[in-house]
């Protein structure tokens, strides 16, 4: 695969890894407290809500790199270099986290075996991205035709985002609201009907994979960009407002609008992607060679940071009792995120100098 440096993707990677760390820090015990009417819960909910774009953006970055028709993609090399590397990393880090939980979190043997088989918490991303790599040849055929790509994205919008958001919102609120019988019958049977279509081709993260390439190569007018940014802000604010209102109302986290395939997250992800693309393409990187070099260094470390950071999340939350020392989570979450990012980056910087580790597990 012939590679050409796309600077704004480096910015997106770094922004996205910060978002991932924020989500994992925010999703520790304070988020599931018995009483949500506290500053502690308000803080973790706020940081969690504004960081949900991170995983979709990671997938969109991969879409740019693997679907661009001008880049030569050899499936043999994808298998050998990308898929095998991810599988090796998955096995290594899965066992690494299993060893950690066995020593420090007192898991039962049954729970430990289940964890090893299905993968530790955040490692779900690795088999998902392998699945996308496997269908790269099909998706490249689609994006090579503009009309076909737009048709694909329309189907994806309907079946991957709009309908799932509608159904998940209904089911989340149905546990607390007494919907009229006619509404219950309408929604439940409509969901069965759409499921009977057995439409799977555009579902889930392939949506963002294709959307990433589309937004990379599309050229928008100023008015269109402003609309995308506005929708992105609405997505960020709407996801936070919906979750906050209903969670506080029922004193239980109500999370359908935090799902990666939800409408608010999709809007925020596209808005951030386009915004950073415009910013990155306007910067004269030759005039900022030092910053560019540092940016590239951090960008190259993001995969390693993603793999290792969760152990420091657990150490801060459990062993060091971070939130007891800093109960104001508006401060505790970003501070913990910065600490975890720096520690993870430094460790993976040195690990990257070990040839086998650099080649196979990061």
For 29-57, what is each residue's pLDDT tens digit? 888 888 899 999 999 999 999 999 999 99
pLDDT in tens, 140-197: 999 999 999 999 999 999 989 999 999 899 889 988 888 888 888 888 888 887 876 7
pTM passes above 0.75? yes
pLDDT confidence of residue 200? 67
CA dihedral for 102, 325, 335, 18, sign (positive or negative): positive
Question: pLDDT-based confidence at 330, cuts 50/70/90?
Answer: very high
Q: Rg for the chain (alpha carbons), in Å?
A: 21
Residue 5: per-residue pLDDT: 81
Predicted pLDDT of residue 1:
43
Q: Which residue has the higher pLDDT, 1 or 319?
A: 319
Which of 290, 288, 286, 234 lies closest to 262 in space, CA to CA? 234
Can you say whether residue 326 is alpha, beta or left, with left for phi > 0 and alpha for psi between -120 and 50 degrees? beta
Alpha carbon distance 217, 322 (integer Å): 43
Considering only the C-alpha atoms of the chain, give the largest distance between any 2 of them, rounded to a whole number of Å: 65
252: left (phi over 0), alpha (psi -120 to 50) or beta: beta
Measured distance CA(253)–CA(244) in Å, rounded: 8
Kindly provide the b/e burial profile for residues 68-99, where b requires at least 16 CB atoms within 10 angstroms of the residue's own CB: beeeebeeeebeeebbebbeebbbebbebbbe
**Residue range 276-293, pLDDT digits in tens:** 999 998 888 878 888 889
**Angle 7-26/263-282 helices, nearest 10 degrees?**
140
pLDDT in tens, 217-235: 999 999 999 999 999 999 9
- 1-10, 169-178, 307-316: which range is least confident on average? 1-10
Residue 91 CB contacts under 8 Å (≥ 6 apart), including other chains: none
User: Cα–Cα–Cα angle for 125, 128, 130, nearest 5°?
Assistant: 110
Dihedral sign (CA 182, 185, 188, 189): negative
71: which 2 tokens? 């880049």
Task: Calculate helix-pair angle for 289-314, 329-351, nearest 10 degrees.
Answer: 110
Residue range 89-147, pLDDT digits in tens: 999 998 888 888 877 776 667 777 777 777 778 888 999 999 999 999 999 999 999 99
Which stretches of 7-83 are DSSP H helices?
Answer: 7-26, 39-49, 54-67, 75-77
Tokens read off for 100: 């950690």
Q: Per the structure block, which two tokens stand in for 175?
A: 């546990």
Distances (CA, A) of 362 to 101, 278, 345, 347, 351: 21, 29, 12, 12, 9
How remote is the C-alpha of 238 from its chain's centroid? 18
Task: Kindly report the average pLDDT of the chain as a whole number.
Answer: 89
Q: With a cut of 60, say whether residue 256 has pLDDT above it.
A: yes
Q: How high is the pLDDT of residue 74?
A: 81
Residue that the structure tokens 């939130």 belong to: 323
């Amino acid at each position: 695969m012939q590679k050409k440096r796309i600077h704004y993707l480096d910015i997106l990677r770094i922004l996205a890894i910060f978002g991932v760390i924020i989500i994992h820090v925010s999703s520790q015990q304070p988020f599931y407290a018995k009483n949500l009417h506290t500053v502690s819960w308000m803080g973790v909910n706020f940081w969690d809500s504004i960081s949900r774009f991170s995983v979709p953006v990671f997938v969109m970055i991969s879409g740019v790199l693997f679907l661009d028709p001008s880049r030569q993609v050899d499936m043999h090399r994808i298998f050998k270099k990308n898929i095998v590397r991810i599988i090796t990393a998955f096995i290594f880090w899965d066992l690494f986290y299993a060893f950690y939980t066995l020593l420090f979190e007192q898991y039962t043997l049954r729970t430990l075996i289940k964890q090893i088989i299905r993968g530790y918490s955040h490692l779900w991303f690795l088999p998902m991205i392998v699945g996308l790599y496997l269908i790269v040849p099909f998706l490249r055929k689609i994006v090579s035709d503009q009309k076909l790509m737009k048709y694909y994205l329309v189907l994806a919008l309907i079946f991957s985002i709009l309908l799932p958001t509608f159904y998940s919102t209904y089911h989340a609120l149905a546990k607390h609201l007494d919907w009229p019988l006619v509404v219950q019958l309408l929604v439940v049977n409509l969901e069965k009907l759409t499921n009977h279509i057995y439409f799977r081709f555009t579902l889930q993260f392939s949506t963002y994979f294709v959307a990433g390439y589309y937004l990379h190569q599309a050229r928008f007018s100023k008015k269109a960009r402003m609309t995308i940014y506005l929708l992105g802000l609405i997505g960020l604010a709407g996801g936070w407002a919906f979750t906050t209102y209903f969670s506080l109302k029922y004193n239980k986290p109500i999370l359908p609008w935090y799902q990666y395939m939800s409408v608010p997250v999709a809007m925020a992800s596209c808005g951030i992607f386009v915004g950073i693309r415009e910013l990155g393409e306007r910067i004269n990187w030759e005039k900022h060679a030092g910053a560019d070099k540092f940016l590239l260094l951090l960008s190259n470390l993001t995969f390693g940071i993603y793999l290792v950071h969760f152990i420091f999340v657990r150490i801060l939350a459990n062993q060091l009792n971070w939130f007891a020392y800093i109960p104001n989570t508006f401060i505790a979450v970003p501070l913990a995120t910065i600490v975890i990012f720096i520690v993870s980056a430094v460790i993976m910087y040195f690990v990257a100098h070990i040839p086998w580790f650099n080649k196979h597990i990061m």
